[in-house]
Amino acid sequence: MPTPLHIAGYSVRAAAWSAWRGGVPCVAIDCFGDRDLRRVACRWHRADPSDWASALDTVMQRRQICGPRSTPPVLCWMAPLENHPDVLERAAAKWRIAGCPLEAVRRVRDPHWLASTAARCGIAFPETVHEPPEDPGAWLFKPLRGGGGMGVRLAGGRAPRGAETAWANGLDTGGLFQRYVPGVPGSAVFLADRDGVRLLGWTRQLVGEAFACAPPFAYCGTVAARPTIAPPRLFENSGAVSPSRPSRPRRESRRWQSRSRTWDAFARGVQRLAREAGLRGLFGADFVFDGERPWLVEINPRYTAAVEVLELLHRRSYFPAHLKAVGVEMGELPRPPGDCGQRPERPVRTRTAARTPDRHVPPPLLAKVVLFVAPPAGPGGDGPGVPGDDVAVPHGSRGRTAVPRTPWDAPESWADPDDPFRIPAFADVPADSAAQFPGGPWMTVFVRGDSPAALWDDVRRRARDAYSALRHPTAPTPSGILIDEASK
């Protein structure tokens, strides 16, 4: 009998939903156990981010208690396990690892190998050193085992404190210094398989945004557009995104054609780098666009946060292709009940219906925004504060929640297992405030946009409304019924 896929990482909600969209149920191993994760996960196991080896061993021991199994379970790893290839190597003795080959992971996570190979592939890469530079103001300090930008700071600034240090440096022994490149951050998503390395899409990253209460340099969201948007337009410094071929003078058109060639050259360079590294499956190439060219800063050899946004825009799951690329066939995994696979895009029915936002139709622009737990209000804090457990994460004993008190408590606002390509209003909905801490991730909101100006305005408004609802929850809700979380 096939064994379920196991997905392990700091937060695996997005990957679990991607697997579900592709028709693959999973067992989740992460640090949060979000309520919308438990909607599609067969089971959830809590992980300690400071001891991944013990977390995987505990899950394996529980499987053995249930009886002997003829085949090893499949383990698909997520962030930040790329920073711990020794843990994955040890796990390979008991698990079947569904991920990028460990030798390739070690290569792309080695800054010296990445810098030299990027230069050979014609990719701009910031100067990187291990010793403190003489002019620290122009450099960044990055933890060797960091993730999501947590722990990154200006080399001349103070060291991160509290939760930021614990999250980024849990097992770290040092860091490196990388020359600061001012510009717009982004990420390109690729799929590497036996047929080659294919570009799936460009995304723009939100980093350290104040409206999300994010720490400096921390990843706090992704913005992506339908294929009609050219990469240069997605990375304008103004934050605007406009159609790829508006009318403009001939000189302006030539300038954008030159920029497009620059993006094409960067994509070809990353594809060559991926082949030299031996990457397989989904991976992301993070970069900073300085107005003239993209500078590669990191390769993430796994499913990344940007993949989910592309999946919702393209209305297809890339998880089956990822599994096939790393050697796992769909027939080796159990299938979920019902039809949860690919669904065709719904057309807009009438002109009248088009006036009402239809969550089944992909918008021109889509933003995924990660909101962070704000610092406490009052002396020593500069944020709006987070109320107690009874307000921030209203839940009762034995998994039963009474009438929702905030917009994200209503399951109607989450992703729908029966319609998994419908864009949710909220994601990563907390189930336990014990997993939250000031400066750490709180919740995700999705924002649709028909125009650049409307998108950025709505992103800030949705963040402001979420923090306001957290401080002042209200009783009226769309459902008004009891939610049995244990049954999800």
- In-domain check, residue 423: yes
Residue at 328 is within a domain: no
Q: Which of 98, 132, 164 is the last residue of a domain?
A: 98
342 inside domain: no
Distance CA 153, CA 180 (A): 10
Domain membership flag for residue 269: no
Residue 428 · residue 441 · CB < 8 Å: yes
Domain that holds residue 24: 5-98
- Other CB atoms within a 10 A radius of the CB of residue 16 amount to 31
Q: What CATH number is associated with residue 69?
A: 3.40.50.20
407: Cβ contacts below 8 Å, ≥ 6 apart: 413, 425, 426, 465, 466, 469, 477
Q: Of the candidates 98, 126, 156, which is a domain's last residue?
A: 98
Q: How many domains does the chain have?
A: 2
Report DSSP state, residue 373: P
Can you give the pTM of this predicted structure? 0.83
CA distance 15 to 8: 10
Number of C-beta neighbours around residue 204 at 10 A? 24
Report yes or no on 206 lying in a domain.
no
CB atoms within 10 A of CB 272: 17
- Note whether residue 126 is domain-resident: no
pLDDT per residue as tens, the chain (488 positions): 567 899 999 999 999 999 999 999 899 999 999 999 999 999 999 999 999 999 999 999 887 655 556 688 999 999 999 999 999 999 999 999 999 999 999 999 999 999 999 999 999 999 999 888 888 778 999 988 878 888 898 887 665 444 444 344 333 457 889 999 999 999 999 999 999 999 999 999 999 999 999 999 999 999 999 876 667 677 765 444 433 334 444 544 455 556 788 999 999 999 999 999 999 999 999 999 998 999 999 999 999 999 999 999 999 999 999 999 999 987 777 765 543 433 333 332 323 333 334 556 788 899 999 999 876 543 344 443 333 322 222 222 223 333 456 888 888 899 988 888 999 999 999 987 656 777 889 999 999 998 878 899 999 999 999 998 887 565 333 332 222 233 33
Tell me, yes or no, whether 18 lies in a domain.
yes
How far apart, in Å, do the first and last CA atoms of the chain sit? 23
Of the three residues 45, 67, 98, the one that is the final residue of a domain is: 98
| Cα–Cα dist 255/275, whole Å | 31
Is residue 467 situated within a structural domain? yes
Measured between alpha carbons, how far is residue 157 from residues 110, 139, 145, 154, 160 in Å?
25, 10, 19, 5, 9
